[in-house]
């Protein structure tokens, strides 16, 4: 009986040996960012403590809502400063 062969990604082996090469893929807020490994495409994000955590569907939803709140707040503050600078 033959064992099934596994096609191991060469980039995965590189990351196992040398470590991941993360780059910022998305800035959610000024403090929260999403990272992606250039080689194996593993995704991480910062959690509430500021530590890196694997990007699960739960964290994707949290980041999406956080980004929405953040952009609305920045727009509101920008409009408020624009109105106050006129007077």
Asked whether residue 53 is domain-assigned, the answer is yes
Task: Quote the number of domains for the chain.
Answer: 1
1 pLDDT band (50/70/90 cuts)?
low
Q: Could you tell me if 75 and 46 are in contact, meaning their C-beta atoms sit under 8 angstroms apart?
A: no
Which pTM value belongs to this model? Answer: 0.76
Asked whether residue 79 is domain-assigned, the answer is yes
pLDDT at 24: 96
pLDDT at 12: 80
Asked whether residue 12 is domain-assigned, the answer is no
CA 23 – CA 25 distance, rounded (Å): 6
Determine the 3-state secondary structure of 66 from DSSP: helix
Q: pLDDT digit string (tens) for 24-83? A: 999 999 999 999 999 899 999 999 899 999 999 999 999 999 999 999 999 998 888 766
Asked whether residue 63 is domain-assigned, the answer is yes
Asked whether residue 69 is domain-assigned, the answer is yes
Where in the sequence is the domain holding 68, given as residue range(s)? 22-86
Residues whose CB falls within 8 Å of the CB of residue 9, separated by 6 or more in sequence, listed in order: 40
Model confidence at 84: pLDDT above 90: no
């Amino acid at each position: 009986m033959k064992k099934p062969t596994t096609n191991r990604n060469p980039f995965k082996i590189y990351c196992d040996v040398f470590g991941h090469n993360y780059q910022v893929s998305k800035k959610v807020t000024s403090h929260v960012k999403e990272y992606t490994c250039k080689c194996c495409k593993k995704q991480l994000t910062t959690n509430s403590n500021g530590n890196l955590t694997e990007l699960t569907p739960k964290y994707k939803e949290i980041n999406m809502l956080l980004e929405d709140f953040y952009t609305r707040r920045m727009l509101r503050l920008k409009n408020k400063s624009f109105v106050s600078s006129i007077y």
